[in-house]
Structure 1
Amino acid sequence: MGDVTAGVESAIRTWIASGELGPGDRLPSERVLAERLGAGRTTIRQVLGKLVSEDVLSVRRGSGYYVASSRRFDSQNNPLEPWRLHGERTVYDNRWVRLSLADVEPPGVDRFEHHVVHLHRVSIAVVLDERDRVLMLWRYRFVPNKFGWELPGGIVDEGEAPRQTALREVEEETGWRPRTLEHLVTFEPMVGMVDSPHEVFVGRGADKVGEPSDVEEAGEVAWIPLSEVHRLIRKDELLGSGTLVGLLHVIAYGA
């Protein structure tokens, strides 16, 4: 990186670090930046592109460059230390759930036992049709004692790939077979105490191949317009973190 380029990058970073430019603020135009920093437009674009790739800046087509609302944390300069794990003992175990006590030591804190609930890995599918409708199930869940809409999904069997689980669960629960499924996001629904990775997949198109075969997970099958999701959220009719994460991700970023 040349001296001019490095100087441009340092100047923009200084404006942000000093608070001269805060989160959400718009940067001056490329022309103004070039004049103010004594650099060519090509150099300015190169630096802006680099800062966008690092999530320091965001770009809005037709509007310009903005300071990102939340910048990527620099893990290389992370001053925090992880907790030390001295061991873990099982308190309860069956085919569905394992409860354990972990012997942990946070930095600067005495050791103590922390409950950990180990559940299975789960796969969930957002299946859309050509009319931007999503395949969902209306179900009753006895734990919260309520009815609501859910995306199809279920536990990943031993030796089964998460994508195959998602394909299988959609067909078993709805009678529809997705034409494609691609990985969307992996998340933990309750990261402080529960270990249960959720894999969310998204696909376009499905073919009706029969009736639902999973009686225990049966519910009313329907294609719900994505435009209805916000209304369903307000009515508290969406069940489960996987359903919320999958639908909101698709609405925010597309499929």
Structure 2
Amino acid sequence: MRSTAWSRHGERPIYENEWVTLSLVDVQPPGQERFEHHVVTLKPAAMVALLNEHDQVLLMWRHRFATNVWNWELPGGIVEHGEDPAVTAAREAVEETGYRPLRLEHVVTFEPNIGMVRNAHHVYVSRGAERVGDPTETTEMQRMEWVSLGDVLALIKDGKILNSGTLVALLHLLATRTAAGGSTPTA
């Protein structure tokens, strides 16, 4: 079987700042001419789905200026240089919600736009959370609510959950809940 892997011959940044790097990568698909392809590199992110004993997940209603949308999201943020993503997820949960995860479980690390963007997302679940105070990051959300997992599919269907990391975590919870014999949510 012939490989369809593209050859990389080099990369050069054309714009860089603390948050984003835009590069041109010299690539060559098999049997084709070489060309330069844009690649965006962003810092990795980590997020956590906090579950309580009532089968509810803590969601934040927040505005995203880039797309000018409001949606429900999980707490999370950028992984600082040298920081373990699990530490990031726990830190962000406390800063944004005032709840500390009790038992972090790594679900998956994925790339939300793998064709042209490098931006690893580390997704965690915590079955249990402890209230440790008020949120210290006050610009992250309008409000937060404990939402029943049974209501999540309807929120997704209604376009109220759009963030990729949030979708991955919640769909994982729904799939494992159903596989473990829990009730099947309806949309």
TM above 0.5, yes or no, is yes
Conserved? CA contact 1:212–1:218, under 8 Å: no
Q: What's the counterpart of residue 32 of structure 2?
A: 109
Alignment partner of 1:222: what SS? strand
Deviations 1:142-197 (Å, cap 9, x if unpaired)?
Answer: 12212110011100001110000000000000001111101001110001100001
Q: What's the counterpart of residue 227 of structure 1?
A: 150
Residue correspondence of structure 1 range 44-55 to structure 2 within 5 A? none
Tell me, which stretches of 5 or more residues in structure 2 are unaligned? 181-187
Q: What's the counterpart of residue 61 of structure 2?
A: 138
Report the RMSD for the aligned CA atoms in angstroms.
1.3
Q: Does 1:121 align with 2:44?
A: yes
Alignment partner of 1:103: what SS? strand
Structure (1 or 2) with the larger CA radius of gyration = 1
Say which of 82, 85, 98 aligns to 1:159: 82
Q: What's the counterpart of residue 191 of structure 1?
A: 114
Deviations 1:32-60 (Å, cap 9, x if unpaired)?
Answer: xxxxxxxxxxxxxxxxxxxxxxxxxxxxx
Q: What's the counterpart of residue 10 of structure 1?
A: none
Conserved? CA contact 2:45–2:78, under 8 Å: yes
Provide the aligned length of Structure 1 versus Structure 2: 178
Alignment partner of 2:43: what SS? coil
Distance 1:112 1:224, change over 3 A: same
Alignment partner of 1:168: what SS? helix
Say which of 107, 111, 128 aligns to 1:205: 128
Alignment partner of 1:127: what SS? strand
Residue correspondence of structure 1 range 1-255 to structure 2 within 5 A? 79-254=2-177
Q: Whose helix fraction is larger, Structure 1's or Structure 2's?
A: 1
Q: Distance in 2 between matches of 1:108 and 1:229?
A: 46
Alignment partner of 1:250: what SS? helix
Q: Whose strand fraction is larger, Structure 1's or Structure 2's?
A: 2
Aligned amino acid, residue 106 of structure 2: H
Alignment partner of 1:104: what SS? strand
Q: Distance in 1 between matches of 2:17 and 2:67?
A: 22
The CA deviation at 1:81 is 3.5
The CA deviation at 1:250 is 1.2
The CA deviation at 1:80 is 2.1
The CA deviation at 1:235 is 1.2
Q: Distance in 1 between matches of 2:21 and 2:7?
A: 21
Q: Distance in 2 between matches of 1:221 and 1:207?
A: 15
Tell me, which stretches of 5 or more residues in structure 1 are unaligned? 1-77
Q: Percent identity?
A: 52
The CA deviation at 1:222 is 1.1
Alignment partner of 1:131: what SS? coil
Q: TM-score, normalised by structure 1?
A: 0.68
Aligned amino acid, residue 163 of structure 1: A
